[in-house]
Each structure stands twice: as C-alpha cells, then as structure tokens.
Structure 1
Amino acid sequence: MPDTTPDSSTVLPDTPELPELPDLSAQAERLIELGVHETAGLSADEIRGFAAEADGDGALLAVHPDRAPASALAPLLRRDGKPGFVVADMQDVDSFTPEAVELPDAPLYIVTGVDRGDHMSNWSPDEALPALTKEDRTPLLLTEGIHWVLQQPEALERNRCFMTIGSRLRKPNGNLDARTPAVWISNGTGRDGRERRNAPKVGWCWWNNRHTWLGFASGTGRRAGAVE
C-alpha cells in the first residue's frame, strides 16, 4: 500500500516559535478574572492553591471539561475585541468528550508540552492521530485548546490554527461522529455573520479531510498536582 501521509513540506514557512506559557499562578489569576472558577464550582482560593502547589513550568492549567464545558469557555475567548463563539451547526459541542484520552480524576490538572502541531498542517485527523501516538504525544481536548488560547491568545493565528482531536462524539449506535473539533478564526462569512469577522471560532472539520491552515494540538501528558 502506498504511503499517503502528507509530506512535511506542506508546513507554512517561518513558523514562529510561541513564547512559554505564563506560570501557573498567573494562569490561575486569568481563570479567576474570567470567572471560570465560578463556572467550575470552585473558589478562587482553590485554584490559587492548586497552582501554587503544582509542579509544571511551561505547562497549561486546565479545568476538567465536566466542570467547565466548551460552551461556557468559548465565549470568553477574545480577538480584536470580539468574543469567541461556537458555530451554529455544533450546538452539541459539549457532547464531544475525551476519546482514548485519560484525564486525571480531579477538577484541576495540568497539560505538559503543549504544541500546536504546525508540522502536521494539511494532514487529516485520521493521518495525524497515529503519528501523534507514535511520538508519545496526546491530542488536546477541545476544552484544553480553548484554555490554551485563553492563556496565550497568540497561539491562534491566521493560517496557523489547530484541531483538538482528543474530543470526539459517540453516536447512540456506538460509532464516532465524523466531525472533529477545531479552534480557528472566523472570516465573517455564512452563518457566522460579518460582525464576527476575526473572532475566535470553535468549529469542526471532517475526520478524513485535510486543511493547510490547521495543525493538531497535542501535549506530552496530563497530571493532577505535583509530581510524587
């Protein structure tokens, strides 16, 4: 069988290296400022305490999706002063849950080694997932991708956006829905509306489709709190 994996030459040239994420205490303050702790049923002190005790330089602070779902997080995104939104044909966004991804059994956890996956631009999710697995990387959940952009807005750029294929939707018959979540920037066309041009957008793409402007966000692991 011929190798159909896209060549790495599809990556856009001169991909800029993103700066390190803010420290966990700064990330905690950002979540408190946005009211995410209230959505999650946590006190500000609980988030601050977790961040102070966790061991994770350069890691992403995440709230478990059962506590803070994508529908609650997406409107907190901002770009050019415009709030984020979920596309009209993905109102079941919170039904996209972790698939073959093990989450810590805790309301708060950290994701290490977050990367946008620009080198996989123009790959399909079907092609990217086994490659990430081979690299011992774990695909980000949709909520984790939103958390990342909340903490580091520059992670979302035109022509360098990302998919979050750790979240999938299981149909009642047990099959996976072919839609796969992504975070990108609206062009203000179609049902988005012109007023949403340049706004952060939570949408979806088909499992077997390729897009030159979408990488595959992933991390090296997840854990709750400090290393034992």
Structure 2
Amino acid sequence: MPDTSATDAVRLLPSPAAQAERLIELGVHEVAGISAEDVRAFAERGGRDGVLLAVHPDRAPASALAPLLQRDDKPGFVVTDMPDVDSFAPTAIELPDAPLYFVAGLDRGDRMSNWSPEEALPALDGEGRSPLVLTEGIHWVLQQPAVLERNRCFMTIGSRLRKANGTLDARTPAIWISNGTGRDGRERRNAPKVGWCWWGNRHTWLGFASAAGREGR
C-alpha cells in the first residue's frame, strides 16, 4: 500500500522555479558560489513538477545547510557528536557532475520503518531505487517542511563515512525532530535535527528516504 503522507508531501513540492527562489532567499547560492541568475536559469531550463532541486554536496555541505532548516521557529542543527558530518560522502551512488541537479521520485520510506540500514539498502537496490544522500534530505525538508513529521522521519543512508583504513563507519546519517533532551538542550525541542544511527540498529520512527533517479543538465 502506498504511503499517503509521503506521497502527499511529494505532490506538494513547490515548482522548480519556486524552489530556486527559496534557495536564493536562504543564501544557499552564495554558500555554493553560484549566481542567483544561474540557479533561476537551471530551474527554468530543466525543471518539472515533482522534482527536487539540489545543490551538489561539494558546493553546499550539510553543516551549512542544516542551520537553515526551521520548525516551530527553531533552526535546525547537527548533533554535537557529529563534527565530521561533512565527511559523510555519497557512497555507491553517482551524483550528477554538476553544481545543481534534480532528484526525481522521492519517497520517505515509511514502509521500512523499524528496518536497519543494513536491511533497507539491499531492498532499495532491488526496487531500482537509491537512498538519498544527507544533503538531498536536507534540501527536501527545506523545500517541504511537512515531510518531517514526529514519528515519521528518515535516514539518508546514501551518505557514509569511509575510514582511513577503507572500511565504512558504522554511523548512518538521519534527519529527525529533537525532543530537547540530553545534549540537544531543552531550547531545541521540536527543532529539525541532523544526527546518526548505527548501521545495524532499527528505529520505529525512521524510514529510509530514496529517489528513483537524478538528473543534471
């Protein structure tokens, strides 16, 4: 059965032109070193309804994007024990070789809640889908905040950290809503949160965001 909440969130994605204006308003184009005119032109030239406009993580890393998230007038943040967040790079996923690109066929992956990343990745591969990288997940929430709901948040396991010895770190990035406990601080309750979960662990409130494809121009 299709996930209606995730499907509705995709249906309500702003037009590519509106997404471009949103990124410009937030100053993402300046972070990425891209002119506002080029962002608008890219959206107008190649966009269609239902796709997400994304900036390549090499141009706009997660650490710069996360504070732009907002919920209940509270800015997003990266957990304190993830200072290496920008080292989580696309793994086994080929992003378009361009500063701007589109992500098509978004799915929040609620059907896989209470799965581990280790279980979800081969299932997505079998469906011909690829997991979102962390920056794509942040872009999605920037453009459609309603996609992040309590008890319906998501992992972005397309981003992994490769250690110096070549093995993959057991942490996997995720985006959810802070409860304001522990090191988050009470003042951050209900704020969007970029954090991590273990590769082999399950969480009932985290799905696995994925895409049907990516397109550069």
* Distance across 2 between alignment mates of 1:112 and 1:128: 19
Structure 2 vs 1, CA of residues 122 and 145 (structure 1 numbering), >3 Å: closer, same or farther? same
* Distance across 2 between alignment mates of 1:48 and 1:99: 29
Query: 1:4 corresponds to which residue?
Result: none
Query: Is 1:120 aligned with 2:116?
Result: no
- Shifted more, 166-175 versus 47-56: the winner is 47-56
Structure 2 vs 1, CA of residues 180 and 28 (structure 1 numbering), >3 Å: closer, same or farther? same
How far apart are residue 16 of structure 1 and its match? 6.2
Deviations 1:124-163 (A, max 9, x none): 0000000000000010000000000000000000000000
From 61, 65, 72, the counterpart of 1:73: 65
| Structure 2, unpaired ranges of 5+ | none
TM norm structure 2 = 0.96
Query: 1:5 corresponds to which residue?
Result: none
* Distance across 2 between alignment mates of 1:140 and 1:15: 18
TM norm structure 1 = 0.92
Kindly report which structure 2 residues correspond to 1:73-152, keeping only aligned pairs within 5 A, or say none: 73-152=65-144
From 170, 175, 183, the counterpart of 1:191: 183
From 199, 213, 216, the counterpart of 1:221: 213
The alignment of Structure 1 onto Structure 2 pairs a total of residues equal to 215
RMSD: 1.5
| Structure 1, unpaired ranges of 5+ | 1-7
Structure 2 vs 1, CA of residues 99 and 36 (structure 1 numbering), >3 Å: closer, same or farther? same
How far apart are residue 57 of structure 1 and its match? 2.0
* Distance across 2 between alignment mates of 1:208 and 1:46: 42
Query: 2:170 corresponds to which residue?
Result: 178
* Distance across 2 between alignment mates of 1:137 and 1:65: 20
Contact 2:6/2:147, CA 8 A, preserved across alignment: no
Contact 1:169/1:176, CA 8 A, preserved across alignment: yes
How far apart are residue 17 of structure 1 and its match? 3.9
Deviations 1:173-197 (A, max 9, x none): 0000000000000000000000000
Contact 2:6/2:107, CA 8 A, preserved across alignment: no
Q: Give 4+ residue runs of structure 1 displaced > 3 Å after superposition.
A: 13-17
SS at match of 1:89: coil
Q: Structure 1: which amino acid aligns with 2:93? A: V
Contact 1:70/1:142, CA 8 A, preserved across alignment: yes
Deviations 1:92-111 (A, max 9, x none): 00000000000111000000
